[in-house]
Chains A and B, each alone.
Chain A
Amino acid sequence: MKKILTCAAVALAIAVPVTSVQATPSDDLEAFRAYFKKRFPDVPFNDYINGVYAIDKASREQWMEIEEFPPYEINVEQGETMWNTPFKNGKTYASCFGDDVAAIKAKYPHFDDKGEVVTLEGDINACRVGNGEEPLKWKKGKIADLSAFIAYQARGQIINAPEPKTAKELASYEAGKHFFYAKRGQLNMSCADCHVYYSGRKARADILSPALGHPSHFPVYRSKWGGLGTLHRRYAGCNKSVRAKPFKAQSANYNNLEFYETYMSNGLEWNGPGARK
């Protein structure tokens, strides 16, 4: 009897961690939301689309004033001009994305046939190249303008990144999840260290934003940048802040991270472009 009990105890001890490792994406999503609900019990769920302004009243007041004359407005207009300007072959972006601009943003990110993550910016450049145009630089400038125009049309729609199902899709999802939680850089810090476990606390003069809702408001006009930038520009900046050599924008690492963060934000509203400090 003792032997049976010992065996059962050992089996249970082994099984418990295995179960936690094998959490499904929907398990992860549930746990992620529950964590932030417990951490910031007074913050309404949809307010997480406002980043740090959801959790800090003083910053929120300043931000609301900035939003009265949004600094990204001109970028949205420039993006609209790009959308309506034909390529040299006479076609427009609508030939790749369809005529309904408002329906574009919510389709991204998603998986391709190989289970790899496809981003909006990736498809913008694919569209350009497919129509004989030069690809745009990834992090800022024209690509951010067009992305801002597309995001603006989708405001209020619900984030609904697809559930990873195939082995390859799950591998991409797990890679993004691992990137999010793995410490890196000389400061030995992960995305989660700042934006999960220490969210709401200060790093020097800045309050760390909660990760829930991060992708909702990109591209973002950052006062620090003095302009608009893509989500991958921000990822590179975060990596540099912990003294980790950043990856290239639209690399598999950042694409997977974008998918993971977006999936974790499912159920919130798209509200890009945003304005941030």
Chain B
Amino acid sequence: MKKILFAATIVLTAVLGTACATSGETKSAGTATAAIAAAKEAQAKAHAVGHEFTGVSKMIKKAEKLAAEGKADEAIKLAEKAKFEAEAGVQQYEDQKDAGPRF
């Protein structure tokens, strides 16, 4: 009986552990997808106003590759950096609306 209970505990732990891990991965993958989508949206805005920085596109592509490889945390980090730079481009556009000679 003890053996059966012991085996059942191990099986249950393994099943629960796997389920939890799978759930965590799914959540991370989902977050990575959302982060990449947010970066792409910001990139489109920067592109539309003509102030996209050169590295944004590459960062998004790399984030997509990392996400596909299951490296969700790295993908999120890169996508957030891309989003930050794209938003900086839009801010630059706003700041430069009245640009002109300073002499």
Residues of A within 8 A of B (CB): 20-21, 28, 31-32, 35, 177-178, 181-186, 188, 190, 192, 196-197, 240, 243-245, 247, 253
User: Is B53 in contact with A197, judged by CB distance below 8 angstroms?
Assistant: no
Counting chain B CB atoms within 10 Å of each CB, the highest count among A21, A182, A192 belongs to A182
User: Is B103 in contact with A244, judged by CB distance below 8 angstroms?
Assistant: no
User: Is A181 in contact with B99, judged by CB distance below 8 angstroms?
Assistant: yes
User: Is B100 in contact with A35, judged by CB distance below 8 angstroms?
Assistant: no
- B30-55 interface mask toward A, CB cutoff 8 Å, 1 = contact, 0 = none? 00000000000000000100111111
Chain A residues lying within 8 Å of B51, measured Cβ to Cβ, are 184, 244
Q: B57 interface residue, CB < 8 Å from A?
A: yes
Using known A-B contacts A28-B101, A31-B103, determine if residue A245 contacts B96 with beta carbons closer than 8 Å.
no
User: Is A188 in contact with B92, judged by CB distance below 8 angstroms?
Assistant: yes
User: Is A245 in contact with B92, judged by CB distance below 8 angstroms?
Assistant: no
Q: B2 interface residue, CB < 8 Å from A?
A: no
Bound form: Cα–Cα A190–B95 in Å? 13
**Can you list 9 residue pairs at the A/B interface with Cβ under 8 Å?**
A35-B103, A178-B100, A181-B100, A186-B55, A186-B88, A196-B103, A243-B54, A244-B52, A253-B50
Contact among A177, A181, A183 with B92 in the assembled complex (CB-CB below 8 Å): A183
Identify the closest chain B residue to A21 (Cβ): B100
Q: B102 interface residue, CB < 8 Å from A?
A: yes
Bound form: Cα–Cα A192–B53 in Å? 19
Total inter-chain residue pairs, C-beta < 8 Å: 55
Residues of B within 8 A of A (CB): 47, 50-57, 85, 88, 92, 95-96, 98-103
**8 new A-B pairs (CB below 8 Å) besides A31-B101, A186-B55, A243-B54?**
A31-B103, A178-B100, A182-B99, A186-B54, A196-B101, A197-B102, A243-B53, A245-B57
User: Is B96 in contact with A240, judged by CB distance below 8 angstroms?
Assistant: no
Using known A-B contacts A186-B85, A188-B92, A245-B47, determine if residue A181 contacts B53 with beta carbons closer than 8 Å.
no
Bound form: Cα–Cα A184–B94 in Å? 11
User: Is B99 in contact with A245, judged by CB distance below 8 angstroms?
Assistant: no
Question: Which 5 A-B residue pairs are closest in the complex by CB-CB distance?
Answer: A182-B99, A182-B96, A245-B52, A181-B99, A186-B53
User: Is B50 in contact with A247, judged by CB distance below 8 angstroms?
Assistant: yes
Bound form: Cα–Cα A182–B57 in Å? 22
Contact among A184, A197, A243 with B96 in the assembled complex (CB-CB below 8 Å): A184
